[in-house]
Every structure is written in C-alpha cells, then in structure tokens.
Amino acid sequence: MKTYKDEAIVLRSHKLGEADKIITLLTREHGKKRAVAKGLRRTRSKFGGRLEPCTHLQLELYRGRNLDIITGAEIIDPHVPLREDHHKYICAQSMLELMDKSIHDDQHVSNAFQALSVSLSAMEGEVNSYELMLAAFELKLCALVGYRPYLDCCISCGSEIAGTPAVLRLSEGGICCPACSGPASAAVSLEPEMLELVRRIFRTSMADVSRISLDNQAARKLMRLSFSFSEYHLDRPIKSHRILEDYRFGAAATPTSDRVHT
C-alpha cells in the first residue's frame, strides 16, 4: 500500500524550498516520521494552519522515496489552551523538543505517543505546577526510551534510602546513600522530600501529577533534576529548557548549584 493513515502529533516543522515544509511527527502506529507538506506556505494551502506544533491530527500519508508526503490532515485536538497561555506553551514546547530528540526518525517507542498525548491534554487542564508536569513527563519519557533511574536503594551498597539525603549519579542512572556518594563525574543531590517526590512521579499518572502541589523552590529543584537527567542521557542540550529557565527564574538560572562536579 502506497498510502496509509495514522494519528499524529506535530513536533516541529521547517521550511523546504519555496512553498513546502517538512513536518516532524510522532505517530501512534509508525513512530517518529518526517514528512513533506506540499504547498503549506501558500496562502491558499489545503492544510491551512492545521500542521502547527502541538496539534493532534488524523493524517493520510503517501510513502515517498525519501520522505513520506502528507496528503490529508484532519484535526483531532488543536490543544488551543496550550497556545493561549505562554507559560504552558513553553512547557509544551519542551515536551515536544524532548520527544523529538529522544527518538530517531522511523523509530517506534511503545507508549511514546500515548505519553505525549496524555501529557499535553493534562497540561491543558487545571495544573498546580507546570514545572512538575514537565519534569514528570521528562522522567517518564526517559524511562520509556530505556533510562529509568534506579531509585529503590543505594546502587553501591544496596541499603535502603529513606529520610536521608541521596545523590543521583547520572552516569550510573541510580541513587547512592550518603556513605557511598563519593566523587562522581556527574551527579545531582537529592533531599529526602525530593527523592520521595521523584519516586511518587513514577507511581502516578499525569492526571494525578497535575493535582500535586509544589512550592516554587521545590519546582525549580525538580526541574533542574529532570533537565540534568534528560540532557545527560540524550548527550545534547534542549533549547526549550533554557527558554523556560529564563522565563521562570531569570537568565541567571543555570543549573549549577544542585550539581556536584569533581
């Protein structure tokens, strides 16, 4: 079959030639795809504004020799509330960028589409902490692509960690107790409450995460933790992270004080 249908969420788009665009999509059945939308930049394009980032669509695609071609697009959910609130929009953009950079073209990661769709919808509703929502999405996505942090006990001596500070070693992907947390090339310190919160995130749906209350300082710490963790495993910076840090906490908010470098 030369044509196929699939649901997709638009991750990003960029110009191609005079009138076309390449749209990066996360599809439900076919994984991440880059596809051409012909004539999209003409005023009377048949797609109108339907292929904007964040939009959830039903698509018809034609298998091209290099890239597939979008032949039909119907909106399932435009996620309008995410576009009308700048703070939410930046967080949603971070979700899209992280998803884009976590998955290769044509790679299919089970539940990734579901995770993004559910998270965007949850972000749209009443949310106590946007930073918490983003951090939870990022940590859960890291787990989906194979980097679930080990939080059960100390990765070095196996002792249980509860009520004491711990260190999350990025290179080993797990926590260390105070006695074992010697020099590590990249690590994030975790206060007892923060460790419990991260553990809770992995047991909790995004809809329930949206109801957790978090003060600004804790939200900032959690955000830095998830940014450090995801960027370490992706081995590349996420542009939207810096935009969000500047927007929320000012340009001086670079994640350094919570990281342990030796």
Name the minimum Å distance from CB 161 to Zn ion. 8
Given 40, 151, 177, 201, the residue binding Zn ion (CB under 5 A): 177
67 binds Zn ion (CB under 5 A): no
The C-alpha atoms of residue 111 and residue 106 are separated, in whole angstroms, by 15
Q: Which of 42, 64, 84, 157 binds Zn ion (CB under 5 A)?
A: 157
Examine residue 75 and tell whether it contacts Zn ion (CB under 5 A).
no
60 versus 172: smaller Cβ distance to Zn ion: 172
When the beta carbons of 23 and 175 are compared against Zn ion, the nearer one is 175
Least gap, CB of 20 to Zn ion (angstroms): 56
Q: Tell me, by CB under 5 A, how many residues bind Zn ion.
A: 5
Residue 153, interface with Zn ion (CB under 5 A)? no
The CB-of-187 to Zn ion minimum distance in angstroms stands at 13
In whole angstroms, the minimum distance from the beta carbon of 174 to Zn ion comes to 10
Which residue's CB is nearer to Zn ion, number 45 or number 156? 156
Q: Is 180 in the site for Zn ion (CB under 5 A)?
A: yes
Tell me the closest approach of the beta carbon of residue 151 to Zn ion, in angstroms: 13
Minimal distance, residue 182 CB to Zn ion, in Å = 10
Binding status of residue 154 toward Zn ion by CB under 5 A: yes
**Which residues lie near Zn ion (CB under 5 A)?**
154, 156-157, 177, 180
